[in-house]
Amino acid sequence: MVKLPIYLDNSATTPVDPRVLEQMIPYFSEKFGNAASRSHPFGWVAEEAVDYAREQVAKLINADPKEIIFTSGSTEANNLALKGVFEMYREKGNHIITVTTEHKCILDTCKHLGKQGAEITYLNVNDEGELNLQELEAAITPKTILISVMYANNEIGLIHPIKEIAAIAKKHNVLFHTDATQAAGKVPIDVQAEGIHLLSMSAHKMYGPKGVGCLYVRRKNPRVKVTAQMDGGGHERGMRSGTLNVPGIVGFGAAAEINLKEMIDEAARLSKLRDKLEYALMELEEVHVNGNREHRLPHITNISFKWVEGEGLMMAFNKDIAVSSGSACTSASLEPSYVLKALGLGDELAHSSIRFSLGRFNTEDQIDFTIQRVKDAVTKLRDLSPLWEMYKEGIDMATVEFKAH
Amino acid sequence: MAYSEKVLEHYENPKNVGTLDKSKHTVGTGLVGAPECGDVMRLQIEVDPETQTIIDAKFKTFGCGSAIASSSLATEWLKGKSIDEAMTLDNMEIVEELALPPVKIHCSVLAEDAVKAAINDYRVKNGMEPIKLEEKVVH
């Protein structure tokens, strides 16, 4: 019997790997120094630890350690990238290009900048979540200063063609930022080879601690600068003041190193488990995988179970299996997932979706258990669903007059 | 979100799931909500024409746990009531009984609407005037 509950929500957060935790512990109390204290051994020890972690993090994306600006996480890194570029390059222009399926912290930052005089273009995606690169290029104007496209989408796992986007940005002399929160540590990233100028990532999505992340800011070809959003002691080359979270940074470094070492084998293992889950669930009728299945992260699948509502479905197993849903009922706004809607999914399919995101500590037994429980739940909920009954009777749902509530 | 015990109980063992023959003149059907809103309830009543009493009630619901529990509770509550009495159902009774949080109040409103739509369907089928319903503001 598998141990319950099973965690299949690794895109929300991951547990700290015990190997990472072990590295962090001395830096809470024994080696507690401030990395900015240059005058005594307590500070030197902390600084040395931060420098080492900076190298570990830089290696994960083939960057130079000096290009890593530690932050409190991806949200802060994304804010710093967008607001920092907008303020620094204001003279050059005020136009930013992004995508409708970005994470809220990109979209809301853009909205904020819009009020400060920025002009924002939100590119649409096709029904698989993919960008049209011609549209992207056509959106560039002489006023464009930044393109921000996420490396991989958090809801459907789709990986955007980062190298191609960077090439377009370079051709037009525009900066390119990518939010790699979901992708970093899961798939190989090379900021040199891919031509990325700015990149955000977060430790807690890769088996490191919460509350720490970084912004990669390119130093050469071109040298990129961002205006600090946090003023103070001038830490992190003046781009992010604030005493460094030494234990967190040590954990981030350790996590990055493990990910880099184990990435290829782990991606193969996870995609095998993910595919097993996906194929088994697709044996049910009227089940659809959302988003492109070819270019995506190895550990995510987003599935719509037609004619059952996502939250109602999750309730059948969420004491034992942790997943998340695009259903409105799980969000405070009562709106279904804007990402799935951007793919052109009808609201009813968006309401019926569940995201399974696998991780390092999931086993095949857990996946087998999940398959059975989810299949049983879908069957149970369909027996309860008037829409399923109508569908089985061959009624065309488009002809039914629903009274929108 | 944590669910109340009563919501869980109705969700795990929903009462009166099923379908009545809507072609029968003794059966009234209410279909409310819309798939794009994430809730659709179909609630049916069977009425004894002699006594105008509800002798059976069935439902099927596409929706979250609270929507399923609200409709399950409503069918329980309807059985044995006269159609006039049933028309007085107030959604707040469901909210209290199931301890629904504010974001789930719309589920109870939907159940109330489904009950009233079913009664009106029965009334119209049997040559009675439908009772005019007041709109409840939700969301």
Instruction: Read off the pLDDT of residues A185-239 as tens digits, 9 standing for 90 and up.
Output: 999 999 999 999 999 999 999 999 999 999 999 999 999 999 999 999 999 999 9
Q: Cβ–Cβ of A386/B63 closer than 8 Å?
A: no
pLDDT of residue A349: 86
CATH class of A18-258: alpha beta
From chain B, pick out residues whose CB is under 8 angstroms from the CB of A400: 31
How does pLDDT run across B30-50, given as a tens digit for each residue? 999 988 888 999 999 999 999
From chain B, pick out residues whose CB is under 8 angstroms from the CB of A315: 3, 11, 64-65
The question of whether B107 is a catalytic residue gets the answer yes
How does pLDDT run across B50-103, given as a tens digit for each residue? 999 999 999 999 999 999 999 999 999 999 999 999 999 999 999 999 999 998
Q: Cβ–Cβ of A402/B19 closer than 8 Å?
A: no
CATH class of A6-12+264-399: alpha beta
Instruction: Say yes or no to pLDDT of B139 above 50.
Output: no
Q: Cβ–Cβ of B63/A334 closer than 8 Å?
A: no
Q: pLDDT > 90: what percent of chain B?
A: 86
pLDDT of residue B35: 86
Angle between helices B91-98 and B105-125 (to 10 degrees): 140
More confident position, B138 or A130 = A130
Mutate to test the interface with A, among B15, B19, B36 (most CBs of A within 10 A): B36
Model pTM?
Answer: 0.93
How does pLDDT run across A233-275, given as a tens digit for each residue? 999 999 999 999 999 999 999 999 999 999 999 999 999 999 9
Q: Which of B34, B37, B55, B92 is catalytic?
A: B37
How does pLDDT run across A116-147, given as a tens digit for each residue? 999 999 999 999 999 999 999 999 999 999 99
Q: Cβ–Cβ of A309/B62 closer than 8 Å?
A: yes
Q: How far is B100 from chain A (nearest CA, A)?
A: 13
From chain B, pick out residues whose CB is under 8 angstroms from the CB of A402: 31, 33-35, 40
Nearest to A351 among B19, B38, B60 (CB): B38
Average model confidence (pLDDT) across chain A: 95
pLDDT of residue A182: 98
How does pLDDT run across A300-343, given as a tens digit for each residue? 999 999 999 998 999 999 999 999 987 655 555 567 889 999 99
Q: How far is B18 from chain A (nearest CA, A)?
A: 8
Q: Rounded to a whole number, what is the largest CA-CA distance in chain B?
A: 46
For range B4-10, the mean pLDDT:
95
Q: How far is A277 from chain B (nearest CA, A)?
A: 24
Map out the domains of chain A as residue ranges. Answer: 6-12+264-399, 18-258
